[in-house]
Structure 1
Amino acid sequence: MKKIILLSTLLLFTVLSFSQNGKVFVMYKKDIINYYPINNSNPEKQKIMNTIQDGLKESSNSLRYNLIINNNESLFSLEENLAIETDEKSLKFIVGAGGASGDFYMNLKTKEAIRSVELSGEIFNIVSNLDSIKWQITNESKLIGNYKCYKALTTKVVENNVGIFKHPVEAWFVPEIPFGFGPVGFGGLPGLIIEIQYQNVRFYASTIELNTKKGTKIVKPAKGKEVTKDEYNEISKKKGRMIF
């Protein structure tokens, strides 16, 4: 039986009856939040920045990211064939904002996480361990739809040719949906992450299908060169490219 849940944040979840068969489909949307700082000392420049930011926000809201879950495995990626009216450079920025460029594979059984990205025409599979994400689960909770969600915090360290940056991460997960996956490579919590904020970008679930009949076959990334995060950081520095 299909249930429709209206969220207080005006999101819409489509939830199917859940028999824990391990097949779940989640669609996420993305908001860019105050990407450019306010500069009251230069109103004209800030006006230009605000116009650019409004365009980025509008385009980012058109993006759809899909998370498919099949038992212990998941794959998070940008939905293909999206029609977005913007130039190629801006599109790459919008897609990658919030560290969302590439495909993200996770396996809860093996604790393996792989981010598959393209750099200068070459594919790299960046391998890490899910246990490397150190979460602090708080007592703070809120209702998203009919789900009681709990807040968890962590810090993501990003190293590139500009420097080393520590970005705070705020996630809201649902123990009622017992799959420790989420968007953009975040997981390992005792429940599905349905909202996360990172680098002034917020990802939030707009559709959740439990016990889905959609195709949920997951292929572990294999095409490309397998590297560690440190190895990829060195490669990206030499090529003068950044990844967030």
Structure 2
Amino acid sequence: MKKTTLLLALLCSVVSLAQSISGQATYMSKTTVDMDSWGDGRMSEDMKKQIAERMKSFLEKTFILTFNESQSIYKEEEKLEAGSGSRGWGMMMNSYSAGAQYKDISKNQILEEREFFGKQFLINDTITNLKWEITKDSRMIGQYMAIKAIGMKQVDPNDFSMARRRNRNNDENKEEAKDSTDTASAEDDPMSEIEVPKEVAVTAWFTPQIPVGTGPGEYGGLPGLILELNVDRTTILCSKIVMNPKEAEKIEAPKKGDEVSREEYNLIVKEKTEEMRENWRRGGGRRGGGRRGG
């Protein structure tokens, strides 16, 4: 009872502090991949280790969130590339991942930079906050008291950043796979081996000690800065916060790329993905050949 009263008092007492707040938060993002599910038992432990190491730069990243009481911008920290690595894998991963994300809470607007297979887009959309359920759970993250909130996120079917290997041991998924691929084998169409979940659980830990309704990426809508997020296989954890910094990146709306709505962008991704699948089938899959124009 005392703990609940303390949390409520903390929530109420910091509301007035939201005026003239600014800060910069550093987040470490890590996504796990179940290598065993992709190898069908044929991949050696050494091979799994090599692939995991190549994927590390795409699955472990550092981001900077610069924020004030109504605006924020979330960007990946700039770093020198350590070699080319797997260019094909990198291009694929980056094409389905967001670039800089700018939010203006006062206008309920989010602007998101995307580079999709070499072309720049600027998605102009409204902020869609989850229907959060704030729990009674709390813990310290660094020097801040954080409160747990949970919600469910609807996933766009073309968001391959959340793709996973289809569970073919499940009879229901077997039928779904058969219908969706028109009996195409994995060799003819490797994308028949993966699926995107319809929704994923999201767990957030926010601190009312920093009373801004934002957080990493698209997430926000809670009465305090989000310090930790768990979304599907990805964990995003705040490692450093500097409040009211003397020097910080200016928060400006991005302007790079062709401006499109979220619906228009999703349609572009869907059409390109279907084109890739069709070219793969016509080109004989792994057997090579067949780079077709278009």
TM-score bucket (shorter structure): 0.7 to 0.9
Cα offset for 1:73?
0.7
1:168-183 aligned within 5 A: 168-183=201-216
1:11-160 aligned within 5 A: 21-33=20-32, 35-36=33-34, 38-39=36-37, 43-45=41-43, 47=45, 48-53=47-52, 55-57=54-56, 60-61=59-60, 63-85=61-83, 86-92=85-91, 100-156=97-153, 157-160=155-158
Q: Distance in 1 between matches of 2:196 and 2:30?
A: 26
How many correspondences in the alignment? 220
Q: Distance in 1 between matches of 2:73 and 2:38?
A: 43
Residues 164/237 of structure 1: CA separation in 2 closer, same or farther (3 Å cut) = farther
Letter in 1 for 2:118: G
Runs of 5+ unmatched residues, structure 2: 1-16, 160-194, 275-294
Residues 239/60 of structure 1: CA separation in 2 closer, same or farther (3 Å cut) = closer
Q: Distance in 2 between matches of 1:43 and 1:84?
A: 31
Percent of paired sites with the same residue: 29
The answer as to whether partners of 2:99 and 2:115 remain within 8 angstroms in 1 is: yes
1:161-240 aligned within 5 A: 165-240=198-273
Q: TM-score, normalised by structure 1?
A: 0.76
Q: Distance in 2 between matches of 1:93 and 1:155?
A: 26
Q: Distance in 2 between matches of 1:40 and 1:90?
A: 15
Q: Deviations over 1:207-230 (max 9, x none)?
A: 110011122311212333332322
Q: Deviations over 1:174-218 (max 9, x none)?
A: 111111111121111111111111130111111110011122311
Q: Distance in 2 between matches of 1:119 and 1:143?
A: 39
Moved more, 82-91 or 140-149: 82-91
RMSD of Structure 2 on Structure 1 (CA): 3.0
Cα offset for 1:124?
2.0
Moved more, 188-197 or 19-28: 19-28
Letter in 2 for 1:52: I
Q: Distance in 2 between matches of 1:127 and 1:75?
A: 14
Cα offset for 1:59?
6.5
The answer as to whether partners of 1:23 and 1:210 remain within 8 angstroms in 2 is: yes
The answer as to whether partners of 1:38 and 1:46 remain within 8 angstroms in 2 is: no
Please identify which structure carries the higher strand content: 1
Q: Distance in 2 between matches of 1:59 and 1:41?
A: 20
Residues 93/25 of structure 1: CA separation in 2 closer, same or farther (3 Å cut) = farther
Which residue in 2 is equivalent to 1:7?
none
Runs of 5+ unmatched residues, structure 1: 1-17
Q: TM-score, normalised by structure 2?
A: 0.64
Please identify which structure carries the higher helix content: 2
Q: What secondary structure does 1:64 align onto?
A: strand
Moved more, 163-172 or 71-80: 163-172
The answer as to whether partners of 2:213 and 2:223 remain within 8 angstroms in 1 is: yes
Moved more, 99-108 or 82-91: 82-91
Say which structure, 1 or 2, has more relative contact order (CA 8 Å, 6+ apart): 1
Residues 50/44 of structure 1: CA separation in 2 closer, same or farther (3 Å cut) = farther
Letter in 2 for 1:109: S
Residues 184/113 of structure 1: CA separation in 2 closer, same or farther (3 Å cut) = same
